[in-house]
Amino acid sequence: MTRALIVRQAGPGLSLQDTGRPGYLVYGLSRGGAADRLALAEGAALLGQPGDLAALEMAGMGGAFEATQTIRIALTGAPMQAAIDGTAVTWNASHTLAAGATLTIGAARAGVYGYLHVGGGFDGPVTLGSRSAHLASGLGARIESGASLPVGPDKGGETGLALPVDDRFSGGTVRVVPGPQTGLFPDDEIARFDATQFTRDTRGNRMGVRVVPDGDGFAPEGGLSVLSEVIVPGDIQITGDGTPFVLLAECQTTGGYPRIGAVLPCDLPRVAQAAAGTGLRFRFVTPGDGVQAMSRARAHRKALAKSAHPLLRDPHTIRDLLAYQLISGVTDGGL
Amino acid sequence: MTDPAAQQWPRIRPAGLDGLLVSFGDRLSEPANRAALAFRAAVERAGWDGVEECSTSLVSVYLRLDPLAADPGTIRAQADALLAGRNWYDAPLPQGRRLWRIPTVYGTGLAPQLHEAAQEAGLGVDDAIAHLSGTRLRVQTIGFAPGQPYLGELPPEWDIPRQTALTDSVPVGALTVAIRQVVLFSVSTPTGWRHAGQTAIRLFRPESATPFILRPGDEVLFPQVTPEELENMRSDADGGARAEALA
């Protein structure tokens, strides 16, 4: 039987995502790829495989899955309730999914995008260098119930590894640098933007998220209309009613709204992972500080594989351990 | 007195931590558009370390950098030197340009906003169709969606605003108008541009060896056909469109 993961039941927002399609901006195609790049790297580190393999991105909730052959899996990104044949399994960790066993992944406890990685990565047609669905451009499709997702060859490796992960799933402060249109905004508007508390709106998807200010909206000086210009993920557009819209992986490639600044690439997962209703703040930093932050983030990503450590208990005893934990009242699955 | 704006362009500014924006103006003009296209081609040829990709919009060039792989200051200095090397506003158009004829149905149920657009432009419907089908337009940039062109420039009557409310969705191949430009849609999407014509061309063909059909600098005519004629052209991959090389 082919190596595949069968989707018994699909949540509403499942799609295959990898690192996307860089290089097509000039043709009007944005890079796309995983909304939370760091989660992709974490999955690769847990399974000891390259970082550009496709994973299943799950917006809000997962589904029920079954493997045709025994495979290795890893779970990263927004923490979700996960279990194999009814036994809770740890998030931010790798596991063995036996042939025929059912993996269930429920709703996100925090954040938006969870990721299911498989040893060898998901296979499937490569279009313009990537397996990522880019739904706005008609590339790929949502994964529906009944789908059979081919799994690539796995060179094998350990499972039962976990990664320590800092919380980036509950909003907070993200760093911003000035962009070419920041100067269109008066200094006091910039200062107010920097000091304002925002709430992630219900309007948001892989293209971007609207953030509602606790107070008035923002406006460029003289309400200047700007010429359509290149836009990229991280840009903060100020839309017609003064509400900021932060662009994410699958944004369009040109836009005519003025941009007040740009979120640092390393802080963008925090924006993507802020669920509706979550608080966000934007803090301007100097380009020098921004590059330092990027450098630290890259070093952290490179060191991920080394920071993977065995789960505290032998995974073979996980069933007993879970029973013990239920008795003791620890139900978080944080084994 | 010299025009201060004349001193202001071209101009290089950082665009986030990982980008540089080289702008040739803050308004669309034919020389600034040509300058952007030519400057991008020159950056591509130069192949500077640390430049990950390079794109154009109407009058600017965007360079995406890896600031950890190469010093953005060095790239900026290289860009400054390249800019200073010539007058980009009189650069020639790109090589290999083509003239496209893309059959178009104006109005009818296929393009329901022709009347409204003509009215905004202060034209009768016949004159509006004559303008739209008779003006030779040029692809100024590709953007927003894959393979999707901004074309210009329509006669001055067509300096009409975008709608304030968005149309829920226009189909692939929709010819839309605003601000003396035409956008020909490569995907189905909401838009504020008015839907005045409908073509059968697919501008983005991800499965093909040539996924993106139009290129900046290409010229386009939109000759009028009947809905029946367009229907017959739908079986053709190019939707009846034909291209010839421009000298």
- State whether residue A254 is helix, strand or coil: strand
Distance CA B189, CA B143 (A): 14
pLDDT confidence of A223, banded at 50, 70, 90?
A: low
Among B residues 83-142, those touching chain A with beta carbons less than 8 Å apart = 141-142
| Percent of chain A topping pLDDT 70 | 92
Instruction: Please tell me which of A11-15, A326-330, B11-15, B165-169 the model is most confident about, judged by mean pLDDT.
Output: A11-15
Paired residues of B8 in beta bridges: none
Q: How far apart are CA A333 and CA A18, in angstroms?
A: 28
Q: What are phi and psi of B56, to 5 degrees?
A: -120, 150
Which residues of A fall within a CB distance of 8 Å from B212? 27-28
Q: Can you say whether the dihedral through the CA atoms of A274, A277, A283, A284 is positive or negative? A: positive
Chain B nearest-CA residue for A230: B57
Sheet holding B51-56, edge to edge: B11-14, B19-23, B60-65, B51-56
Q: How many helices (H) and strands (E) does chain B have?
A: 6, 15
CB–CB of A7/A65 below 8 Å? yes
Residue A239 touches chain B, beta carbons under 8 Å:
no
Domains in chain B: boundaries: 4-90, 98-245
At B72 the pLDDT is 87
- Each residue of B45-68: pLDDT tens digit? 999 999 999 999 999 999 999 999
In this prediction, residue B8 carries a pLDDT of: 86
pLDDT band at A240 (very low <50, low <70, confident <90, very high): confident
Supply angle C-alpha B44, B52, A295, rounded to 5: 150
Residue B211 touches partner A, C-beta closer than 8 Å: yes
Question: Does pLDDT of A161 surpass 90?
Answer: yes
Q: How far apart are CA B117 and CA B181, in angstroms?
A: 12
Q: How many residues does chain B have?
A: 247
Task: Taking residues A86-100, report their average pLDDT.
Answer: 97
Is it true that domain B4-90 has CATH number 1.10.490.10? no
Q: Is residue B77 predicted with pLDDT exceeding 80?
A: yes
CB contact under 8 A, B17 and A29: no
Distance CA(B90)–CA(B108), nearest Å, equals 42
Phi then psi dihedrals of residue A270, to 5 deg: -65, -35
Complex confidence, ipTM: 0.93
Contact indicator for A115, A272 with CB cutoff of 8 Å = no
B143 and A254 in contact by Cβ < 8 A?
A: yes
B221: amino acid identity, one letter? L
Q: Is the pLDDT of residue B167 over 80?
A: yes
Which residues in chain B have their CB less than 8 angstroms from residue A29's CB?
145-147, 204
How far is residue A36's CA from residue A269's CA, in Å, rounded to a whole number?
5
Within A35-123, residue ranges assigned H as helices are 37-47
Dist CA B103 CA B221 (whole Å)? 8
Predicted pLDDT at A328: 36
Number of alpha carbons in the 13 Å side-chain half-sphere of residue A178: 15
* Nearest Cα residue to B50 out of B31, B65, B35: B65
Query: Is residue A18 within 8 Å of A129, Cβ to Cβ?
Result: no
**A192: which residues sit within 8 A by CB, 6+ positions away?**
A215, A218
Average model confidence (pLDDT) across chain B: 94
Radius of gyration for the alpha carbons in chain B, expressed in angstroms and rounded: 19
For B210, how many CA atoms within 13 A lie in the half-sphere containing its CB?
Answer: 7
Only one residue has tokens 């909206």, namely A217
Question: CB distance B145–A136 less than 8 Å?
Answer: yes
User: Which residue on chain B is closest to A183 by alpha carbon?
Assistant: B13
In B, minimum Cα distance to A262 occurs at B16
Interface test with A, best of B13, B17, B20, B208 (most A CBs within 10 A): B17
pLDDT one-digit tens code per residue, A176-196: 999 989 999 999 999 999 999
Between CA A218 and CA A188 the distance in angstroms is 10
For B176, list phi and psi in degrees, rounded to 5.
-125, 155
CA distance A154 to chain B (A): 28
**Buried-exposed string A206-230: b where 16+ CB fall within 10 A, e elsewhere:** bbbbbbbbeeeebbbeeeeeebbbb
Closest alpha carbon to A21 in A120, A141, A133: A133
Whose tokens are 């400057």? That residue is B39
**Confidence band, pLDDT 50/70/90 cuts, at residue A323:** very low
Return the structure tokens found at B38: 């030519």
Residue B107 has pLDDT above 70, yes or no: yes
Q: Chain B interface, mutation test: which of A19, A31, A134, A137, most B Cβ atoms within 10 Å?
A: A137
Locus of tokens 């009058």? B59
What token pair was written down for B179? Answer: 């601000």
Question: What is residue B32's predicted lDDT score, i.e. its pLDDT?
Answer: 97
List of residues 6+ apart from A83 with CB closer than 8 A? A89, A103, A104
* Residue B247 confidence (pLDDT): 73
Would you say residue A322 has pLDDT above 50? no
Distance from CA of B126 to the nearest CA of A (A): 30
Distance from C-alpha of A49 to C-alpha of A61, rounded to nearest angstrom: 25
**With an 8 Å Cβ cutoff, are B207 and A127 in contact?**
yes
* Residue A124 backbone phi and psi in degrees, to 5: 130, 170
Residue whose tokens read 């890079």: A31
In this predicted structure, the answer to whether residue B43 has a pLDDT above a threshold of 80 is yes
Which residues make up the CATH 2.40.100.10 domain(s) of chain A? 172-299
CATH architecture of A172-299: Beta Barrel (2.40)
Which of chain A's residues have a Cβ under 8 Å away from the Cβ of B163?
A: none
Contact with chain A for residue B57, Cβ under 8 A = yes
Q: Are B59 and B73 in contact (CB under 8 A)?
A: no
The confidence score (pLDDT) of residue A314 equals 52
pLDDT of amino acid B177:
97
Lowest mean pLDDT among A112-126, A225-239, B79-93, B180-194: A225-239
B98-245 belongs to which CATH class?
A: mainly beta
Q: Do B17 and A232 touch (CB under 8 A)?
A: no
Q: Which whole-number Å values give the CA distances from A69 to A55, A98, A118, in the listed order?
A: 17, 7, 12
User: What integer best gives the mean pLDDT of chain A?
Assistant: 92
Query: If pLDDT is split at 50, 70 and 90, which confidence band does B194 have?
Result: very high
Q: Who contacts A329 (Cβ-Cβ below 8 Å, separation ≥6)?
A: none
Which whole number is the average pLDDT over A18-28? 97
Q: Which of A28, A234, A294 sits opposite B68 (nearest CB)?
A: A294
Report residue A182 CA to chain centroid gap. Answer: 27
pLDDT given at position B140: 96
Which residues from chain A sit within 8 angstroms of residue B182, using beta carbons?
Answer: none
Please report the pLDDT score of residue A228 as a whole number. 85
Is the model more confident about B3 or about A203? A203
Question: CA B47, B49, B55, B57 torsion: positive or negative?
Answer: negative
Alpha-carbon gap, residue B178 to B158, rounded angstroms: 7
Q: List the beta bridge partners of residue A300.
A: none
The encoded tokens of residue B65 equal: 């950098």
Averaged pLDDT for residues A98-126: 97
B112, B4 contact by CB (below 8 A)? no
Q: What are phi and psi of A27, to 5 degrees?
A: -100, 5
Tell me what the mean pLDDT of segment B34-55 comes to: 96
**H or E segment at B21?**
strand B19-23
Amino acid at A148: S
